[in-house]
Structures are given as C-alpha cells and as structure tokens.
C-alpha cells in the first residue's frame, strides 16, 4: 500500500467533468506512467467540490509497485474509464508498505 498527500482538482461539468461533486472515498483510476491504477481519495470533508483545489490523502492498494513514479511533485490525471475527470499532484509520500501477496 502506498499513501500520499496530494493536491487534487476535479473538473466542473462545463470543463468536461462529472455532473456531481465527488464524495470522500471516491475510487477513480490514476494515470501512472501510462498505466491506470486504482486509488482511493480520503478527505476531511464528506464532499469534494468540483472546480476547487483540495488537499487530501490518497491510497494506492498496490502502489508500492509504482513507487518509483509516485513521488513528490508527480502530476497525473484521474480517470473513470477513458474519461479524464481531473488531476492531482503528489505533495508528499506518507507511507510505503509492501503487500506480501505481491512477493
């Protein structure tokens, strides 16, 4: 598991994003060096308003495999399928734990 602190932004409907705001715990895909991997967004707020930057924690269940890419300063898009919903920037790596099932 890889946990990071990140600044995120979800596109408004006018920018091509979703019609509704995002909820705490939302699990979009995150583009890591061309691969889309699952992440979970953890916020202190229940609703993550589109069109506004938020500081959150993100969890990547198998992120340790991509830990050479997901480093401070890394920027990438959030996807649901092939649709880009927003983007994020890694501010800090909080934790990297090797998932014993991947070894």
Q: Which domain holds residue 20?
A: 2-102
The torsion of the CA quartet 84, 60, 90, 11, rounded to 10 degrees, works out to 20
Instruction: Report which of 90, 65, 86, 60 is spatially closest to residue 75, judged by C-alpha positions.
Output: 90
Residue with tokens 């920027």: 75
Q: How confident is the model at residue 102 (pLDDT cuts 50, 70, 90)?
A: very low
Q: How confident is the model at residue 100 (pLDDT cuts 50, 70, 90)?
A: low
Per the structure, the count of domains in the chain is 1
**Which pTM was predicted?**
0.90
Contact by Cβ (8 Å): 40, 4: no
CA distance 1 to 11: 27
Tell me, what CATH number does 85's domain have?
A: 2.40.30.10
Residue 74 has pLDDT above 60, yes or no: yes
């Amino acid at each position: 598991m890889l946990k990071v602190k990140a600044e995120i932004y979800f596109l408004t409907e006018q920018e091509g994003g979703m019609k509704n705001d995002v909820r705490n715990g939302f699990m979009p895909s995150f583009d890591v060096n061309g691969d889309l991997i699952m992440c979970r967004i953890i916020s202190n707020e229940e609703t993550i308003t589109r069109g506004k930057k938020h500081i959150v924690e993100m969890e990547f269940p198998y992120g340790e495999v991509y830990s050479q890419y997901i480093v401070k300063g890394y920027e990438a898009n959030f996807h649901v399928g092939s649709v880009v919903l927003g983007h994020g920037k890694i501010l800090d790596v909080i934790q990297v734990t090797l998932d014993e099932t991947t070894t």
